[in-house]
């Protein structure tokens, strides 16, 4: 519980700092060519961070590390080889920055691509910091230290805000240079914080022993390699879905992309505060239990956190659904964002929130698969959910526009949860829900069904 609370506080503070960063960026850079250039430059390392570092690496490394006999040697082997790949990719992006910019910013004219290329190259080096940080984060989680990993992202936001304030009176090109240097400074500060947290955790001696002594780690490395590729694909599917939704939204009414972006930003807050905070805390604990063969304790841990997440996510979804208009009005209705935009965006948020409970619980049960080294099963489930999302997005968007895209996302969350529950085992799941709390589950499902009916009524009577 302490780890969950620590993660919750860290993510909450980081998200608040992220919103401050967004507001500061908007007020200083505005909506201009140079703001577009920075967002393009920062998008690529941010995407790789979400897919590779924060997702695939942790999901494949931590269970393999827990099961490894020679943990130091295994850790050093994995770190050196993957870090070499990350550095190589960074050099390639630096050398061919104009080509990379052309790929990720197809709408830019030639002059804008020329201006953006150096920023793309500079910002990409943030990924190198992120990989080292994620590696150390996994080791700290294994030692049940959650504070520094949870709060360290705030350092990035603080560094970027400081860079903006320092350069606010300069021309826009200088501001983007300062902001890009702020990104790297934030990465360096995060790394320093993680290195400081290693003291007293017996991690450095373990790594040093792995360097000094040669060990036979072939079984452990083979297990990691087998798990990493499926984990990489599984971590990518959510981002692929988001990219496809953005692509479809670009063919819809003007503003559709923005409605999805703003609504999803709000939706991600309770998902991160509760689902991600809980999963980050329980993942290493469950992995250790399974390694010891104590599956009964692992099931008990899953049960406790299932009900905790169900409570928190259900309350968040219900409150957010009831106050969706007020939330969007408070956060975004100013300037060019008018009342008509608030109405559509709040409806998109309400529809997204239907999927909050399924998405959050699906993440919890996917960790069970990762802990059992079943990354290929998790990846297969993600592939099925991605296929369903593609079909649903294309079908519903044709009828309901941007609200159809939001609904397809929520339905995809439900499909993903059902697939992960099937892999977890219906008998195990029944063992979790057959207690007295079953009534709560029934009420939650009724609330979800009622929300769907309410949204359907809104869509039918608003003409979207």
50-64, 195-209, 284-298 — which is least confidently predicted? 50-64
- What are the backbone dihedrals phi and psi of residue 106, each rounded to the nearest 5 degrees, phi first? -65, -25
Mean pLDDT over 16-39 rounds to: 73
pLDDT tier, 197 (very low <50, low <70, confident <90, very high otherwise) = confident
Q: What percent of the chain has pLDDT over 70?
A: 85
Mean pLDDT of the chain: 81
pLDDT for position 450: 59
CA dist 305 and 312 (Å) reads 10
List, for residues 377-436, the tens digit of each pLDDT value: 888 898 899 899 999 998 998 888 888 989 998 999 999 999 999 999 898 888 887 765
Over 80: is that where the pLDDT of 24 sits? no
CA dist 179 and 30 (Å) reads 14
99-113, 133-147, 261-275, 352-366 — which is least confidently predicted? 99-113
List, for residues 324-350, the tens digit of each pLDDT value: 888 888 877 766 567 888 888 889 999
pLDDT for position 418: 94
Instruction: Enter the pTM of the model.
Output: 0.70
pLDDT tier, 449 (very low <50, low <70, confident <90, very high otherwise) = low
Over 70: is that where the pLDDT of 264 sits? yes
Burial of 78 (0-12, 13-18, 19+ CB in 10 A): buried
87: tokens are: 């550095």
Q: Which CA distances in Å does 110 have to 40, 98, 102, 113, 326? A: 15, 10, 9, 5, 42
Strands (E) across 329-458 are located at none
Over 50: is that where the pLDDT of 463 sits? no
239: tokens are: 């981002």
């Amino acid at each position: 519980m302490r780890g969950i609370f620590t993660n919750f506080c860290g993510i909450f503070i980081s998200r608040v700092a992220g919103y401050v960063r967004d507001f500061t960026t908007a007020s200083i850079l505005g909506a201009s060519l140079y703001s577009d250039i920075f967002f393009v430059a920062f998008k690529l390392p941010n995407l790789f961070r979400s897919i590779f570092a924060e997702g695939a690496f942790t999901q494949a490394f931590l269970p393999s590390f827990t099961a490894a006999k020679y943990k130091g040697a295994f850790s050093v082997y994995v770190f050196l080889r993957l870090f070499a790949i990350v550095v190589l990719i960074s050099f390639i992006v630096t050398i061919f920055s104009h080509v990379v910019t052309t790929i990720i910013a197809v709408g830019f004219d030639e002059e804008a691509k020329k201006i953006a290329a150096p920023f793309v190259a500079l910002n990409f080096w943030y990924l190198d910091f992120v990989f080292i940080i994620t590696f150390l984060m996994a080791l700290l989680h294994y030692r049940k230290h959650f504070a520094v990993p949870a709060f360290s992202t705030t350092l990035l936001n603080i560094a970027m805000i400081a860079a903006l304030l320092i350069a606010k009176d300069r021309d826009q090109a200088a501001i983007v240079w300062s902001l890009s240097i702020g990104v790297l400074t934030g990465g360096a500060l995060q790394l320093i914080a993680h290195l400081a947290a290693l003291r007293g955790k017996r991690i450095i001696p373990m790594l040093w022993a792995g360097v000094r002594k040669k060990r036979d780690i072939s079984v452990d490395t083979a297990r990691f390699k087998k798990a990493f590729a499926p984990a990489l694909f599984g971590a990518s599917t959510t981002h692929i879905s988001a990219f496809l939704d953005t692509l479809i939204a670009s063919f819809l009414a003007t503003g559709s992309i923005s409605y999805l972006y703003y609504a999803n930003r709000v939706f991600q807050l309770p998902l991160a505060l509760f689902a991600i905070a809980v999963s980050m805390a329980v993942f290493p604990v469950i992995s250790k239990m399974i390694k010891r063969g104590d599956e009964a304790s692992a099931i008990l841990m899953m049960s406790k956190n299932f009900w905790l997440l169900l409570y928190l996510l259900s309350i968040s979804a219900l409150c957010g659904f009831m106050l969706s208009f007020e939330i969007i009005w408070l956060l975004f209705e100013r300037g060019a964002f008018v009342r008509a935009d608030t109405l559509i965006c709040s409806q998109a948020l309400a529809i997204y929130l239907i999927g909050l409970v399924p998405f959050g619980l699906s993440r919890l049960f996917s960790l069970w698969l990762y802990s059992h080294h079943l990354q290929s099963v998790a990846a297969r489930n993600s592939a099925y959910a991605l296929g369903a999302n593609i079909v649903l997005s294309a079908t519903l968007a044709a009828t309901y526009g941007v609200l159809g895209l939001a609904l397809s996302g929520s339905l995809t969350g439900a499909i993903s949860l059902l697939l992960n529950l099937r892999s977890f085992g219906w008998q195990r799941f029944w063992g979790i829900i057959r207690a007295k709390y079953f009534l709560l589950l029934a009420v939650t499902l009724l609330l979800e069904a009622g929300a769907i009916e309410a949204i359907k009524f809104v869509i039918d009577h608003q003409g979207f």
